[in-house]
Amino acid sequence: MSKRKPDIPWVEKYRPKSIKEMALPTARIGRQRVKIDEELTKFVNQFFEERNKINKENREIREFNRTAIEKDQKEEKQIPSEKTAVLLEGPPGIGKTSIVYALANDLNMEVIETNASDTRTRDALERKLKETTKSRGIMDFITESKEKLILIDEIDGIYGVQDRGAIPTVLDLIQNTQFPIIMCANEYKTNLQPLYNKIKRYEVHPLPKNEVTKITKNILKKENITSLKNEDLELIIDKNNGDLRGVINDIQGIGQGKIDDDVKELILSLHRDNLEVIFTLIRDLFKVSSLREARYLVDKSDVDYNFLYKWVNENLLTFIKSNRELTEAFENLSLADEIFGRIRTTQYWGLLPYFFDLFAGAVALSRTETPLSKGFQRVVFPRYTSGTYFSLTSIEKEFIEKIKNKYQISEIDFVQDFLPFLKTLCGTSRKQLKNISDWLELDTKEKKLLK
């Protein structure tokens, strides 16, 4: 019998307790490579030094102000903002949060965390953070208090009406804090620009693949899982693309479930329950008999609507057959799309109800002739996701670079004019294909483009 408690997520179970046992991601500041653990330790230590110095000076200033006349009074000093806060930027699951907790553990500090799951309006943030930053509890004087570290996780998640006023509060906090602040973010956001100007930004890069493999194998060993084949493990690691958390979650899913030969299938099924929600939603949607029902379905589900209307687009044909209905349905869908586009450009979200009703209810209700089939309706993934902008795959890009060495041509002309010609030419005989690929020095992947 194994003693492990199955209900602890492995991510938490194996969260590093100390920086020493961590696989440290590489970090950069600007273009310069830095060691993130040293930088952060230095930052925290420097902060406390600075704070004690400034607090002492402020005390003297206050002392002086008490007796001095008003016009001679001095202002209290503040710690410069680049010494009070840092920002860690990087893709999810590479250990940004872990490193902060490990650091706090090493330095014997307490972490006060706020993340995107908290509402972060001005009031809420102030309540949570300012109290802890400005004052100290009565108990702190009696027991020996721990120093605190403020972690503002997922700061790029500060967005929209719910978090109104959060950014000025954070800026304010940086000015007045009594504890060091570390922020984490996934991506660059324009509305955070005022923040970027004030603080140091570290770019954190994903862990290299061999590190991820090492850690994962270690965990597998500790959990006594031997049935996972190396190549399957590699598949999981590749799929997660440097996201260690994702890898650990996946192997937990496999390790604790029944272990099948077909692990690949299992990996897929890990993400299936989310899809299942969409599948049933789509099926139910086309059964509705009133707008209100459709609206209820869409509201109830938490599927991202950005995404949902593309599902409707893809699966419409399964449920609606005649041209008359199709025209009706697409008319509504395209109008919904247009409205959505306008919402995005004007940011007038008041139009959103129309969007919902049009893409869900109105489309579903276009089905007037086609009978509802009794059998199982297969719902498919949106295959065709079109970007708004012209984009090339990486292979196409390499290909075009090679052509450009020999022949000046624009990317658009290449795709629309030159590539079709090359394809037909290469289609005529194997010799032609060889000639051309030799001339352009193509590798096998690029050759496939010509077929």
Partner 1 sequence: MSKEIPIWRVKYYPKNLAQVCGREEVKETLMHIIQQGNFPHLLFIGAQGIGKTMIAQLFSKEFLGKDYNANFKLVYADVPLNDEERKQARAEAYISTSKIGSVAGRTIATPAFIQVKIKPFVQLKVLGDVPFKILIVKNFEALGSNQQGFRRLMEIYGTNCRMILITTKISSIIDPIISRCQIILFSPVKLDDFKDLILNIANKESLSISDDCIEILYQISEGKISRAIDILQLSSISDNTITTEILYEISQKFHNDLIRSLIMVALKGDFPKTRELARNILSNYKYSVQELYKLLLIDLNKLPLSKITRINLINLIADSDFRSLDGRDIDIQISALLSKICLFSEYL
Provide the binding-site residues for partner 1, judged by CB under 8 A.
188, 190, 193-194, 197, 309-310, 313, 317, 323-324, 326-327, 329-331, 333-335, 337-342, 344-345, 384, 386, 388-392, 406-408, 410-412, 415-417, 420-422, 424-425, 428-429, 432, 435-436, 439
- 23 or 392: CB nearest partner 1: 392
- 268 or 317: CB nearest partner 1: 317
* Chain center to CA of 70: 52
- 275 or 412: CB nearest partner 1: 412
Closest contact distance (angstroms) between CB of 369 and partner 1 is: 13
Closest contact distance (angstroms) between CB of 286 and partner 1 is: 17
Helix segments in 257-390, DSSP class H: 263-270, 272-285, 291-300, 305-319, 323-346, 352-356, 363-365
Report the DSSP pairing between strands 32-34 and 27-29. antiparallel
- 111 or 449: CB nearest partner 1: 449
Phi, psi of 397 (to 5 degrees): -65, -45
Q: Which helix (H) or strand (E) holds 381?
A: none
Closest contact distance (angstroms) between CB of 451 and partner 1 is: 13
- 180 or 361: CB nearest partner 1: 361
- 238 or 417: CB nearest partner 1: 417
- 111 or 415: CB nearest partner 1: 415
How long a stretch of residues is the chain?
451
Residue type, 88: L
Closest contact distance (angstroms) between CB of 130 and partner 1 is: 24
- 210 or 416: CB nearest partner 1: 416
Phi, psi of 380 (to 5 degrees): -110, 160
Closest contact distance (angstroms) between CB of 415 and partner 1 is: 5
Instruction: Give dist(CA 229, CA 209) in Å, integer.
Output: 17
Name the one residue in this structure whose structure tokens are 């991510």.
11
Instruction: Give dist(CA 251, CA 237) in Å, integer.
Output: 10
Q: Which residues of 210-226 are buried (b: 16+ CB within 10 A; e: fewer)?
A: eebbebbeebbeebeee
Closest contact distance (angstroms) between CB of 43 and partner 1 is: 22
Long-range own/partner contacts, residues 209-213 (CB < 8 A, 24 or more apart): 209/237, 209/238, 209/242, 211/23, 212/23, 212/237, 212/240, 212/242, 212/244, 212/247, 213/237
Instruction: Give dist(CA 331, CA 79) in Å, integer.
Output: 60
Closest contact distance (angstroms) between CB of 113 and partner 1 is: 29
How many C-beta atoms lie closer than 10 Å to residue 323's C-beta? 8
Closest contact distance (angstroms) between CB of 402 and partner 1 is: 12
